[in-house]
Amino acid sequence: MWFLGFVLLLLKTAIVLTILLGLAAYLILVERKLLGRFQIRFGPNRAGPFGIWQPIADGIKMILKEDTIPQGADRVVFKYAPAVVATVAILIAAVIPFSRDAILWGYDIPMVISDLNVGLLYVLALSSLSVYGVALGGWASNSKYSLLGGIRGAAQMVSYELPLGLSLVPVVMLAGSFSLVDIVNAQACYPFVVVQPIAFVIFLIAAVAESKRLPFDLPEAENELNAGYHTEFSGMRFALYFIGEYVHMMVLGALVAVFFLGGWRGPWLPPVVWLVLKALMVPFFLIWTRATLPRLRYDQLMHFGWKLLIPIALLNILATGAVMLWLRG
């Protein structure tokens, strides 16, 4: 029995990893395609029909590239910093429920790799750890651009973790649990976006800032810092940063789906399909934003986070608590 549970866990992990990494790889293609169409271009269309072999070609290219380590770099930190970003992004996927419990030969099999009773905090903890990949990668490269990118990244991600966490407090209050499975179960009647539109918007904005994408891509601002914290990385190490970013986008999509859009719940289609569809809405929105908005200035970024998002998030918590107390009588 113990052995069976272990095999089942491995199986679930393998399936989730495959789907997640596959989606992330193809998200790169989708982003380039969509960005092309937003700019009235075609985007990649040479590798196979509609460029469907592009991610594979990119992967082969990345693996075959020379792995350079700049002179004066802190070699150990430089080597392991990219892994932090990718690992952390992938680990978050462990607590995302992707279907209702399956019943197989009388056993109740939860369709989530690990139903932590503090799943939401686990998500926040991991996303707060991903700062290290950025800051250390920037520091270890021994380059001005990287260092500036790393410093910017550290400051930005620490600042936007606060609204990210605060915007989730009303969700926890409504669901009465930190567990992501319970949060999805609490949205059986209606998704939380209906009652928490402000928290939804704050979470989305903070999530964009956490994933360091436009208009918050100051850590890797191309025209100011070359590529910011990953300027000096090449080959597979750069690819790890890249994969980390896209996995992070997918995971954020899944988290938005779980926290605000009802997770895997939906009519007609199978639950997994619903989750993937909902999860893909966020990357699409991020790509759309990338095609639309220019980059913020650094002081604007900080003002926006500290002086606007955090007070609104706090007020939202207060209002939610008041309404809940009032409804309870």
Partner 1 sequence: MAGNEVNILRAFYEGVAGLASAYRITLKHLFRKPITEQYPEYKRPLPARSRARIILTRDADGDERCVACFLCSAVCPVSCISMESGEREDGRRYAQWFRINFARCIYCGFCEEACPTLAIQLTPDFEFCQRDILKLVYEKEDLLVDHGGKNAEYDFYKHAGVAVKGDKGTHYQEAAPVNIKTNLP
Partner 2 sequence: MTLHGLIFYLLASVILASTGMAITRRNLVHAVLYLVFSFIGSALLFCLFGAPFLALLQVIIYAGAIMVVFLFIVMMVKPDLSEGTVLPLRQLLPMVLFGFMYAVVGVLVAVTDPAGRAVLETAVAKPTEFGHYVFARHYLAVEIISLILLIGLMGALHLGREKVPKEPEEPS
Least Cβ distance, residue 37 to partner 1 (angstroms): 5
Tokens standing for residue 251? 């995971």
Nearer to partner 1, 121 or 291 (CB): 291
Instruction: Give the type of residue at 289.
Output: T
DSSP state of 307: I
Nearer to partner 2, 46 or 328 (CB): 328
Tokens standing for residue 298? 């650094």
Nearer to partner 1, 41 or 61 (CB): 41
Least Cβ distance, residue 226 to partner 1 (angstroms): 26
Least Cβ distance, residue 62 to partner 2 (angstroms): 27
CA 269 to the chain's CA centroid: 24
User: Which of the listed partners (partner 1, partner 2, none) does 116 bind, with a CB threshold of 5 to 8 Å by partner kind?
Assistant: partner 2
CA–CA distance, 255 with 184 (Å, rounded to integer): 11
Is 18 an interacting residue with respect to partner 1 (CB under 8 A)? no
Instruction: Give the type of residue at 127.
Output: S
- Tell me which residues in 147-176 interact with partner 1 (CB under 8 A): none
- Is residue 231 a contact partner of residue 149, using CB atoms and an 8 Å limit? yes
Tokens standing for residue 264? 């895997």
β partners of residue 102: 109
- Tell me which residues in 257-316 interact with partner 2 (CB under 8 A): none
What string of DSSP letters covers 16-45?
Answer: HHHHHHHHHHHHHHHHHHHHHHHTTS--S-
Among 12, 32, 111, 122, binds partner 2 (CB under 8 A): 122
β partners of residue 109: 102
Is 323 an interacting residue with respect to partner 1 (CB under 8 A)? no
- Is residue 116 a contact partner of residue 122, using CB atoms and an 8 Å limit? yes
Q: Give the position of tokens 């960005």.
A: 35
Tokens standing for residue 76? 């150990």
Is 155 an interacting residue with respect to partner 2 (CB under 8 A)? yes
CA–CA distance, 112 with 13 (Å, rounded to integer): 9
Is 318 an interacting residue with respect to partner 2 (CB under 8 A)? no
Is 39 an interacting residue with respect to partner 1 (CB under 8 A)? yes
Nearer to partner 1, 17 or 291 (CB): 291
Is 215 an interacting residue with respect to partner 2 (CB under 8 A)? no
How many amino acids of this chain bind partner 1 (CB under 8 A)?
Answer: 13
Is 209 an interacting residue with respect to partner 2 (CB under 8 A)? no
List, in order, residues 6 or more apart from 131 with CB less than 8 Å away: 153, 154, 157, 158
Instruction: Give the type of residue at 94.
Output: A
Nearer to partner 2, 43 or 149 (CB): 149
Nearer to partner 2, 43 or 138 (CB): 138
CA–CA distance, 329 with 325 (Å, rounded to integer): 6
Nearer to partner 2, 25 or 313 (CB): 313
Least Cβ distance, residue 178 to partner 2 (angstroms): 5
Nearer to partner 1, 39 or 117 (CB): 39
Among 135, 218, 239, 257, binds partner 2 (CB under 8 A): 135
Among 62, 129, 173, 227, binds partner 2 (CB under 8 A): 129
List, in order, residues 6 or more apart from 138 with CB less than 8 Å away: 146, 147, 148, 149, 150, 151, 153, 219, 228, 229
DSSP state of 296: P
DSSP state of 211: T
Point out which residues bind partner 1 (CB under 8 A): 34, 36-42, 288-289, 291-293
Point out which residues bind partner 2 (CB under 8 A): 74, 77, 116-118, 121-122, 124-125, 128-129, 131-132, 135-136, 138-139, 147, 150-151, 154-155, 157-158, 161, 165, 177-178
